[in-house]
Chain A
Amino acid sequence: MLTVNLKKHFSSKSKTEFLLDVSFSVGNGITVLTGASGSGKTSILRLVAGILTPDEGYIKANSQTFFDSGKNIDLSIQKRRVGFVFQDYALFPHFNAEQNIAYGVKTDDKKFKTNKAREMLSLFHIEHIGKRIPREISGGEQQRVALARALASDPLIVLLDEPLSAVDVETRAKLLDEVENAQRETDIPFIYVTHNESEAVRLGKHRIVLQNGHIILPIS
């Protein structure tokens, strides 16, 4: 369960001022977050992950408080245990797929790390690319590695920022299945940002629609 109630004011020289003011609660399952570009989708993910700091409000995952302006709580990114899948994957280019996944496994035991990484590779049916670096694998495979890496870190929630925007239609359908499978396996909240309507419809039992920093439509 993730509960979010926050306000964040954005201002820059080039853009007009923008206020993000949202309040929502999501349970275990996939929640799709949609809205036009610039409506604040990615900002919400970044605020939950701790990359950005809200002006006021609170963010709670299960019984753990990530942020609470009233109580002066602001957990660091490292302590929030959030699995983040970036739009451009952000796989470390100097590590192979296996090392990318192992990097996030929280233990000092090297053997355990490697075993866990191999387990994740096999879960996503990509054992054959374990020793290849990101540049040597396809977009779909990179996406699987990114998801595997996020899950290997044993997160409380998973945030996916338009993860399939760079893969072809056929691969996209397969990856959507895998995202759903991964959610079922872990049984934790996934927040999936997309502006692709077919993806949203395909995944969205629960859906939040944003417009200009405000929620206009929660669909359940």
Chain B
Amino acid sequence: MKGYDLVELALRNLRESVFRNSLTTVGISVGVASLVAMLSLGIGLQQLANRRLQKSGLFDTIRVTSRRDLRSLSREEGESGPDALESPPLDESARQKIALLPNVGEAYPEIRFVTELRFQDKPHLTVVSALPSSARTTDAFEGLEGRFFSSDAAAEAILEKSFAQRLLGSSRNATTNPAALLGQQLTLRYGERTAMPTPASATSSDNQPDMAYSVTAHYENLTIVGICDLDPDSMRGQARARVFLPEQLAEGLHVMDPSNLRDSTNMPGGSPTYPALEVRVASPRYIPTVESAIREMGFETFSLLDATKNLRQFFAVLDVFLGIFGSLALTVASIGITNTLVMAILERRREIGIMKAIGATDRDVRGLFFAEAGAMGGFGGGLGVVLGWALGHAINAGTNVYLKRQHFPPAQIWFVPWWLVASAIVFAILVSLVSGLYPASRAARLHPVEALRYE
């Protein structure tokens, strides 16, 4: 019998016992729904964790430092790249080279300094840090009050919430709502570093002029444009900053940094260097190759990639467990399919005999029962995916209501990818076909004379 005839006959047979077959199909769909809901929950949680981690910048960022740095003196023998004293300086030229490496999104200097801020004529000592425009996408700005910097060089500042509250506490403002600070002015007081020519006597042995700086006090007026809940730099820096400036503006300030003092003694004639660079790569999977390329250039690197491996392993195990629990209902449903088809054989024994008498082969009869099992699996799978999707939606909605009550931001903890939809339907069909194996072969083996004699 041709394939489409088999399917057509199977569907019409299913319609004949519509109630019983519908119940069996619903059984399968409940099984598939539980499987889809469980797995989509696992996938959703994994994606949520990945999204949070990616936004935090912890796993797609490499911190680059110079080997001339004191911390690098203890580095192990046998590491790639040149030795500390022969290693290149971490300056603008190095930054540009690193930024051009494959899969590197951006490389920007870590600018972080302790300085004085004046608000309503009151001084406040705090840590100031620069943020690149890419930081706009980090989760620290999900609950941002106000806005992000209008440009990379704008004279604007974003304050960390607790610092903003500190400013308000010491000010004449009656309110403690940090949003009241938006649009107000803040004065940054800092020491500007200016390169200056050195006396002729102060030249190094290789006739290169040594570096000299003059440091002068400067003021920069900043407009407060945003208040953020979390530290956007999170764990990346050594110190937690409270005030954030646009990267280009901060660079242009030429704030005197302790490392400049060191450079003045060990960096003959060179340009100013950076204490550290933050290198963001397109995806955490490129971290090892980019790290190795940077090391080859003679710099030290640090990343937190290994932590994601453990995380991925955890979610793989979680997915397996959720899949097993989800499959239990499908196993019960498969027993239902076998039962339904065995009942159908008993009821349709004479019909099978008639079909054999007019020319149906064993293969036709087996195929017919297989097609019926497969059709129930297909319908059950399709319905199950819809049910699972609805269940996932409900769990997500319920979780978000709970999160809202606990004052947490909403989260998407459930996700159904297209491959899960396709796999769930295929799996349901396969399970149904396996369940149909015994009934189908039993129907095919029926002796036509005995089947015709059956009343």
Decide if A and B are genuine partners: no
